[in-house]
């Protein structure tokens, strides 16, 4: 299959998310993947240069050796009021040309503003359009004034997509309320690479490198530091915890400067900020941790999500403390090694669960082994795409076979 992916979360700087894993794995099976992307222009506006030129990268694979991802970032203007409108126009132009030159078999969208023109082009050219949803997208729009428009766009995409794929049942319920047809809406859970995250991995060298003592209780968070991350509350609560409790944060984003300020205001080396790290570094950091945290506040953006980091925590065999987000509770439940507590109480919860830590870790790993294997999930995802391609074309050379293995 020739697959075009339309997304707007910056392929190179964010994640890896679901789409990175799925499409890199599909590329290893011989499918041709082209990603149309959108650069991160926040949080500092304007950015230089004023005009961001079109960029293309022949291979932007980030996870799996041998994967190939063609990445195209259409040009835009780096001004707050002009960035999205110009990106919509430039994405439309680039996708139109891509369809003319190398007709894709299917378009998979993760986007709103650039997803709508992709839907129109898919309809015009008879190309299946799959809407793969990992967030309530309109809630992510930063401007309250624009959210009603985003809501209307999201509703239209739910109504008109050939199939809607959701990462959990909570999101599927939301999609159906938004107009998705129940028969064209299905749950495909987020996966995890079970070989990459090893519960038996030795983290002692990484702990020593970070200045952590053997008897420190190391709490760990990784990922983009959104303003709803809850990490400021976690960091502040370290002041009331025993001195051997340390917080290790791997990531960058909106809350980074606030965390630096907390560190410099007295937390010192009890708060370790690595900044953004490569994905290949994450397993070693997880091996150095004792407890993993997901302290997100419950806001419209987080109500439906189950972040991929949660499954990676669990695969690493680490007891995990998560905020009681509705999507997480419904998807993972109460007996999978995850303890629920709001952000301000997660340090205390980490201390409280220590007598049960080994059992909680065992349950966490068992849950993802049973439900979250990327290989199986990729099989299901590939089958969905092939089914839609076969509906709209003559017998496909891909029908019933793969071009190769994942390696």
> Per-residue pLDDT tens for 207-262?
999 999 999 999 999 998 988 999 999 999 999 999 999 999 999 988 999 999 99
What CATH architecture is 204-371? 3-Layer(aba) Sandwich (3.40)
Mean pLDDT is lowest, of 134-148, 284-298, 355-369, 370-384, for 134-148
Break the chain into its structural domains and give their ranges.
2-191+373-392, 204-371
Per residue in 43-59, pLDDT (tens digit) is 444 455 667 778 888 99
pLDDT band for position 139 (cuts 50, 70, 90): low
State residue 43's pLDDT score.
Answer: 44
Burial bucket for residue 399 (CB in 10 Å: 0-12, 13-18, 19+): exposed
Residue 360 burial (10 A CB sphere; 0-12, 13-18, 19+): buried
Under 8 Å between Cβ of 176 and 155:
no
Closest CA to 140 of 113, 117, 180, 169: 113
What integer is the mean pLDDT of 61-81? 84
DSSP codes of every residue in 95-140: HHHHHHHS--SEEEE--STTHHHHHHHHHHHT--EEEEESS-GGGG
24-27 long-range contacts, CB within 8 A, separation 24+? 24/61, 24/62, 24/63, 24/64, 24/67, 24/69, 25/64, 25/67, 25/374, 25/375, 25/378, 25/406, 26/1, 26/378, 26/381, 26/382, 27/61, 27/67, 27/68, 27/69
Residue 42 has pLDDT above 60, yes or no: no
pTM over cut 0.85: no
- Residue 405's pLDDT is 46
Mean pLDDT for all residues in the chain: 87
Topology adopted by domain 2-191+373-392: Rossmann fold (3.40.50)
Query: How high is the pLDDT of residue 345?
Result: 96
């Amino acid at each position: 299959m020739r697959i075009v992916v339309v997304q707007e979360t910056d392929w190179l700087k964010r994640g890896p998310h679901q789409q990175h894993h799925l499409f890199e794995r599909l590329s290893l099976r011989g499918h041709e993947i082209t990603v149309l992307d959108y650069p991160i222009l926040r949080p500092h506006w304007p950015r230089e240069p004023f005009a961001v030129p079109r960029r293309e990268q022949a291979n932007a694979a980030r996870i799996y050796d041998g994967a190939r991802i063609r990445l195209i970032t259409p040009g835009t203007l780096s001004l707050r009021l002009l960035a999205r409108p110009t990106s919509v126009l430039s994405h439309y132009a680039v996708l139109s040309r891509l369809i003319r030159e190398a007709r894709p078999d299917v378009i998979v969208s993760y986007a709103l503003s650039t997803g709508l023109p992709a839907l129109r082009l898919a309809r015009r050219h008879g190309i299946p359009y799959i809407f793969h949803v990992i967030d309530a997208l309109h809630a992510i729009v930063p401007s309250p004034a624009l959210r009603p428009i985003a809501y209307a766009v999201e509703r239209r995409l739910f109504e008109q997509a050939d199939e809607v794929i959701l990462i959990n049942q909570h999101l599927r319920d939301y999609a159906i309320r938004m107009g998705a047809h129940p028969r064209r809406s299905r749950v495909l859970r987020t996966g995890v690479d079970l070989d990459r995250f090893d519960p038996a991995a030795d983290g002692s060298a990484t702990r020593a490198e970070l200045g952590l003592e053997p008897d420190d209780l190391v709490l760990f968070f990784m990922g983009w530091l959104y303003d709803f991350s809850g990490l400021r509350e976690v960091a502040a609560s370290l002041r009331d915890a025993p001195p051997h409790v340390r917080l290790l944060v791997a990531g960058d984003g909106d809350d980074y400067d606030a965390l630096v300020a907390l560190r410099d205001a007295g937390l010192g080396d009890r708060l370790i900020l690595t900044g953004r790290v490569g994905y290949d570094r994450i397993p070693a950091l997880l091996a150095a941790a004792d407890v993993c945290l997901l302290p997100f506040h419950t806001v419209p953006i987080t109500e439906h999500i189950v972040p991929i980091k949660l499954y990676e925590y669990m695969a690493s065999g680490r007891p995990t403390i998560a905020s009681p987000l509705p999507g997480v509770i419904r998807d993972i439940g109460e007996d999978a090694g995850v303890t629920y507590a709001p952000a301000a109480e997660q340090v205390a919860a980490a201390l409280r669960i220590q007598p049960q830590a080994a059992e909680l870790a065992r349950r966490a790993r068992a849950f993802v082994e049973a439900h979250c294997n990327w290989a199986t999930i990729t099989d299901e995802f590939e089958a969905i795409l092939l089914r839609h391609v076969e509906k709209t074309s003559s017998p496909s050379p891909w029908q019933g076979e793969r071009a190769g293995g994942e390696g």
